[in-house]
Amino acid sequence: MADYLNTAIFGIYPYIALAVLAVGSVIRYDREPYTWRSGSSQLLRRRQLVVGSVLFHVGILIVFFGHLVGLLTPIAVFDWMGIGHGFKQGLAIAVGGVAGIVCLVGATMLLHRRLSDPRIRSTSSFSDIAILVLLYVQLLLGLATIPISLGHMDGHEMVKFMSWAQGIFTLDLQASSFVRDTHPIFKAHLFLGLTILLVFPFTRLVHMLSAPVRYLWRPGYQVVRSRRAPLAPAK
């Protein structure tokens, strides 16, 4: 039973999440282009928004690209460059740990701002709050993996996750077997990460996929004041 569950979560679920991410993002961009934004409440508690947003975005960008490069770069490339698995793991812990803490501080400020101010909370949708909570929990899980990783600095566990991620993208049917025996916190971190990809197209996170270049030529709305005298009320 455990093997079937492991295969379902780490062998099948990744493809479902990636398919929904790709197809859902394309459909939303095509059918609802004016929702392709993060939304703004900057007129309310602006200072907390700016500080929290900067910390959150700087931290999450480092974490995201660190995961992307670290997991999807072929292991042979690191071997060819002479970068040992232990050194790579240590670097990931140091950089990822600092970036994760910075991101967590920013996320705490943003979440506190959105939940504590009645005006901001009333203008926030369920998805706005839910995705921030998911990211917050994901950050906590990621930071919780650091003490576990410090217990085996040979990089062997890290290679398992690299093999799993690369196996998913190369359609390796046995990819889920690489993470079968890993620590439950790592598995929870992977599962929640896949879930965030799954819900990505339906949240404000879609703005991460594009720079605001299209606004230069996208047709917009123009509000025009009428100069005509108001109609006389009916008698």
pTM for the full predicted model: 0.82
Average pLDDT over residues 71-81: 91
Poorest-confidence range of 8-12, 103-107, 128-132, 191-195?
Answer: 128-132
Task: Answer yes or no: are the C-beta atoms of 59 and 103 closer than 8 Å.
Answer: yes
Q: What is the pLDDT of residue 206?
A: 81
Residue 221 confidence (pLDDT) above 50: no
Q: To the nearest 10°, the Cα dihedral for 167, 8, 188, 76?
A: -10
Q: How far does CA 108 lie from the centroid of its chain? A: 16
Residue 41 confidence (pLDDT) above 60: no
DSSP-derived secondary structure letter, 150: H
